[in-house]
Amino acid sequence: MIKEVLIDEPKRVARPLLIVVAAALIDADGRVMVQQRPEGKSMAGLWEFAGGKVEVGELPEAALVRELREELGIETEASCLAPAAFASEALGDKHLLLLLYVLRKWSGVPSALHASALKWVRPVELHALDMPPADRPLIGLLEALI
Ligand SMILES: Nc1nc2c([nH]c(=O)n2[C@@H]2O[C@H](COP(=O)(O)OP(=O)(O)OP(=O)(O)O)[C@@H](O)[C@H]2O)c(=O)[nH]1
């Protein structure tokens, strides 16, 4: 019975959940923007989607609008963020829930305000990039959407 399965389930999340929101910016040519994690941070040098942690009391989309302003200097609205895919992955002593949105409409020109570099790539080229483990399963999902 479902009730028994729930009660006996020993694999409840034992680690704190880390909820991270990220955006795949898509340009008019269908290219995707990724940014490179800077030296001094965990996973330095890896390519990831712009975004960051959802703060306590913050809505995910509001967190992402804030992160995109802070990291890229662009403005967008929650209504422009299309939910695309998610990843669920252990990350150190936490469990990462990474919510990926697709974004096609923003104002301003993205700049690497926090990252060491930005680049625009074809979705298929993402497979060849060094990305965090949580991002790998998102690549195929993104390819299907763009
Ligand atoms: N923004 C972003 N974060 C990702 C991706 N994939 C992934 O595993 N992460 C992880 O999710 C967390 C994002 O939080 P963050 O950007 O605020 O954290 P950080 O490590 O850069 O900075 P911090 O020093 O403020 O903790 C990081 O642990 C990062 O490694 C991704 O595609 N985009």
What's 110's domain CATH number? 3.90.79.10
Note whether residue 103 is domain-resident.
yes
The residue to mutate among 32, 48, 58, having the most atoms of ligand 1 within 8 angstroms of its beta carbon, is 48
Note whether residue 6 is domain-resident.
no
Tens digit of each residue's pLDDT, the chain (146 residues): 555 545 555 566 679 999 999 999 999 999 999 999 999 999 999 999 999 999 999 999 999 999 999 999 999 999 999 999 999 999 999 999 999 999 999 999 999 999 999 999 999 999 999 999 999 999 999 999 98
pTM of the model: 0.91
53 lines ligand 1 (CB under 6 A): yes
Based on the structure, what is the number of domains in the chain?
A: 1
Question: ipTM score of the complex?
Answer: 0.93
Q: 68 is in which domain, residue-wise?
A: 13-145
HEC per residue, the chain: CHHHHHHHCCCCCCCCEEEEEEEEEECCCCCEEEEECCCCCCCCCCEECEEEECCCCCCHHHHHHHHHHHHHCCECCHHHEEEEEEEEEEECCEEEEEEEEEECCCECCCCCCCCCEEEEECHHHHHHCCCCHHHHHHHHHHHHHC
